Chain A
Amino acid sequence: MMLRQPDADHQLFLRLRQRDEQAFVTLYRRRQAPIFRFALHMSGSATVAEDVTQEVFLTLLRDECGFDPERGTVSGYLFGIARKLVLRQLERGRSDVALDLDSEEGGSAELAITDDPLAELTHREGIEALRRAVVTLPRRYREVVVLCDLEEIDYADAAVALGCPIGTVRSRLHRARALLLEKLNQDRGPGLPLSRLKPVRCEI
C-alpha cells in the first residue's frame, strides 16, 4: 500500500498539533473562506456561518479532533465538520435559508430579459438568479452543488465531507444540476416548455 504524502494542509495540521501558532493561523487563512461560504450557503445566515467557522477551527485545537489522513484531506475533514455543525443549527431551527418560493418569485419579473434564461448566466442578473436557485435547492442537493460547483473541491473530498461514496456525490450533483435548470426555467415563467428542461435522469 502506498502511503499518501502529506499535502500542505496536512503539514500545517501536524505543526499546529505541535503548538505551532503560525501553522494554525496559516491553515485558518487558507481554509476559512470556503468554510465560511459553505456555511453561509447552507444556513443562509452570516451569524451562523461565523459561528460554524469558529467552531470548525476550534475543533482542530482539541486533543481528540478525529482527523485521519488515511480517510481524506484536511479540507474534506473541515467541510465535514462544518456540514455537521450547520445541520445541527438547521435542526434546532435557529436559522435556515429562505425557502419561500413566493418571495423568490418576486424578483423574477425583472430578470425576464430574454427567452433563454441560460443565455444570461454569464450576466449579473443571470448569476443572481442562479444564486437564488442554488439557495432554494433541497439541502442534500444544495450541499453537493456548493461543495463541488461553487467551492470546486474534488469529488473525493466532497464524499468525505458528506460521508457518502463518490458515486453518490456524482449522482446527487447530476440531479442537482437538473433541478437548477428546472428552477431557472420556472423563474422565467411559461415562456419555455418545461419538457425541454426536464431532468434527463431521476435518481430518487
Chain B
Amino acid sequence: MNCQDFWDRMPELSNQLLKDESEHLDGCAACSRELQRQRTLQAGMHHLSAELQSLQAPARVEAGLTAAFRAQAMRREAIPPRSVWMPLFAGIAAAVLMAVGLFLLRDRPLQPARHRTPPAVELAGSPAQVELAVNDAAADNDGFIPLPNAEQIAPDENVNVIRVEVPRSAMLAVGLTVSADQASELVEADVKMGSNGLARAVRFLNE
C-alpha cells in the first residue's frame, strides 16, 4: 500500500485502522505524522463540541411553539373532519343543482308537438300499428302521449317537463313506428313528470 492508497481510505474518519493500514504507518513516518495531526484535530473538535453543548434556543421559542401547538389543536377540534363535510357538501350541491334544473325547466316554453313525418319503413306486422291509433287519440293537446301503465295526470296536479335524449327505439313503447335503420339514433323527447316524480307522458321531438 502506498501513501495515496492509504489516504484514499480516509483512515482519519475511521475509529480503527485495518491491518494493512497499520503496516503502512509502521513504515511511513510522514503518513504516521499526518494521521496523528488528524487525530489531534478530531480531539480538538470533540472538546469544542463539548464546550458548545450548553448553547440552546431561548425558552421563549418553546413557549411560542407550545402555544402554536395548542392553537392548532383547538382549530382542528372546532372544524369537523373531512369525512363529515364531504357528504354534506355533496348533498347541498346536489340539491342546488336540482333546484336550478327544475327552475330552468319550468321557465322553458314547451314546444308544440311537431307533425310526425311518415316513417320510411313501417314495421310490418307490428302490434304497435294497432295501438298507434289509440295513442294518437290519447295524446293531449300538447302532443304528450301517456306512458303505458302510468297514472293519469290530475287536472290540478303540479307537473314538470324534462327534456331528454333517448334512442328512437324508445318510441316503440308508446306505439310509434320506427324504421329499423334509425332505431339506434337519438331523439329528443319531453317527459312530463308527475308530482310523485314518476314519468306520466312523453312527447317526441324531431320524429
Instruction: Determine if A74 is an interface residue (Cβ-Cβ < 8 Å).
Output: no
Stretch of A7-15, A89-97, A101-109, A121-129 at the chain-chain interface: A121-129
B133, chain A: closest CB distance, angstroms: 69
Chain B residues positioned under 8 Å from A122 (CB to CB): 43-44, 47
Whether A33 lies near B53 (C-beta < 8 A) is yes
1/0 per residue, CB under 8 A from A, across B54-69: the answer is 0111100110111011
Tell me the smallest distance from the CB of B81 to a CB of chain A, in Å.
12
A2 near B: Cβ within 8 Å? no
B52 CB to closest chain A CB (Å) equals 6
Q: Which residue on A lies nearest to B49, using beta carbons?
A: A150
- At the interface, yes or no: B73 with Cβ under 8 Å from chain A? yes
Question: Is A61 in contact with B69, judged by CB distance below 8 angstroms?
Answer: yes
Q: Of B3, B44, B56, B69, which contacts A118 at CB under 8 A?
A: B44
Contact between chains at A50 and B44 (CB < 8 Å): no
* Chain B neighbourhood of A174, CB < 8 A: 10, 12-13
Identity of the chain B residue whose Cβ is nearest the Cβ of A32 in the assembled complex: B57
Q: When chains A and B are docked, how far (Å) is the Cα of A172 from the Cα of B49?
A: 19
Q: Mark B1-16, 1 if CB is under 8 A from A, else 0.
A: 0010001101011000
Cβ of B72 under 8 Å from chain A: yes
Say whether A28 faces chain B, with CB atoms less than 8 Å apart.
yes
Stretch at the interface among B33-41, B155-163, B164-172, B193-201: B33-41
Q: Is A141 an interface residue (CB 8 A)?
A: no
Residues in chain B near residue A32, CB distance under 8 A: 56-57, 61-62
Check B32 for interface membership: any CB of A closer than 8 A: no
**B contact residues around A151 at 8 Å (CB):** 49
Select A33's contact among B45, B46, B55, beta carbons within 8 Å. B55
B43 and A25 contact, CB distance less than 8 A = no
Residues on the B chain within 8 Å of A19, using CB: 73, 76
Chain B residues, CB < 8 A from A149: 42, 45-46, 49
Which residue in A21, A29, A37, A40 is a CB contact (below 8 Å) of B69? A21
Known: A58-B65, A181-B37. A150 touches B57 (CB 8 A): no
Count of chain A residues with Cβ under 8 Å from any Cβ of B? Answer: 45
- Contact flags A167-183 to B (C-beta < 8 A → 1, else 0): 00011011001001100
Interface residue B116 (Cβ < 8 Å from any Cβ of A): no
Q: Which A residues between 145 and 161 are near B, CB-CB below 8 angstroms?
A: 145, 149-152
Residues of B within 8 Å of A61, CB to CB, are 68-69, 72
Cβ contact within 8 Å between B65 and A126: no
Task: Given the known inter-chain contacts A37-B55, A121-B40, please indicate yes or no for A25 contacting B62, CB distance below 8 A.
Answer: yes
Instruction: Indicate with 1 or 0, residue by residue over A191-204, a CB within 8 angstroms of chain B CB atoms.
Output: 00000010011000
A interface residue numbers (CB < 8 A to B): 16, 19, 21, 24-25, 28-29, 32-33, 35-37, 40, 49-50, 53-54, 57-58, 61, 118-119, 121-122, 126-127, 130-131, 134, 145, 149-152, 170-171, 173-174, 177, 180-181, 184, 197, 200-201
The 9 closest A-B pairs by CB, nearest first: A121-B44, A33-B56, A149-B45, A36-B57, A200-B7, A118-B40, A53-B57, A150-B49, A32-B57
Q: List 19 A-B contacts (CB under 8 A).
A: A19-B76, A21-B69, A21-B73, A28-B62, A28-B65, A33-B55, A33-B56, A37-B52, A58-B65, A58-B68, A61-B68, A121-B40, A130-B48, A150-B49, A173-B13, A174-B10, A174-B12, A177-B42, A200-B7
